[in-house]
Amino acid sequence: MKNLTTPHMERCIGCHACSLACARLVHKNLSWDTAGIRIATSGGLSTGFEAKYCLACNPAPCVMVCPTGAFLQRRGGGVVVKKNLCIQCGECAKACPVDAIYLSPTSEPFVCIHCGRCVTFCPHHCLEMADVPIGANMEEVIS
């Protein structure tokens, strides 16, 4: 099982190529807000950037609060989202401990599904897909 990691964010220039790739290839949209990975400044251009993406919680708080089962636990951590079951209540975003679920103006959820399609679009190789042992929690793998 592989999950998205961001081991080299010190290289990030804030180009949003990863976000645009995700939005276009995964979510069939062209807005870096409607992507599973979003890049934000960590205090200004001189202090660098941070990636906001699903850390593959296991168990995932968003799954536990979803009233319709639209969010399902992914084997190895993270979630699978069945948007056709989503009632756009926003409970998933409220429950996310790292603000990784973006709700569009219509409250449609956008979250990283750890597909890795963004990785090849990062010009500075800030992103990687890392092997995660089954049963491991991504917070343990990252630290």
* Tokens matching residue 85: 């079951």
**How far is Cα 57 from Cα 59, in angstroms, rounded to an integer?**
5
**136 band by pLDDT with thresholds 50, 70 and 90:** low
Residue-wise pLDDT tens digits, 6-65: 999 999 999 999 999 999 999 898 887 789 999 988 777 677 899 999 999 999 999 999
Instruction: Give the pLDDT confidence score for residue 138 in this predicted structure.
Output: 45
Are 3 and 113 in contact by the 8 Å Cβ rule? The answer is no
**The domain that contains 59 carries what CATH number?**
3.30.70.20
CA angle 102, 132, 72 (to 5 degrees): 45
Instruction: Say if residue 19 is exposed, middle or buried (CB neighbours under 10 Å; 0-12, 13-18, 19+).
Output: buried
Residue-wise pLDDT tens digits, 61-77: 999 999 999 999 988 78
Helix then strand then coil, % of the chain, to nearest 5: 25, 20, 55
Q: How many domains does the chain contain in total?
A: 1
Instruction: Give the pLDDT confidence score for residue 3 in this predicted structure.
Output: 92
* Tokens matching residue 60: 């995932």
**How far is Cα 87 from Cα 55, in angstroms, rounded to an integer?**
24
**135 band by pLDDT with thresholds 50, 70 and 90:** low
For the whole model, what pTM was predicted? 0.83
Residue-range definition of the domain harbouring residue 51? 2-142
Q: Is the peptide bond before 59 cis (omega within 30 degrees of 0)?
A: yes
Instruction: Give the pLDDT confidence score for residue 74 in this predicted structure.
Output: 87
Residue-wise pLDDT tens digits, 71-116: 999 887 889 999 899 999 999 999 999 999 998 887 789 999 999 9
**129 CA to centre of own chain:** 13
Are 114 and 78 in contact by the 8 Å Cβ rule? The answer is yes
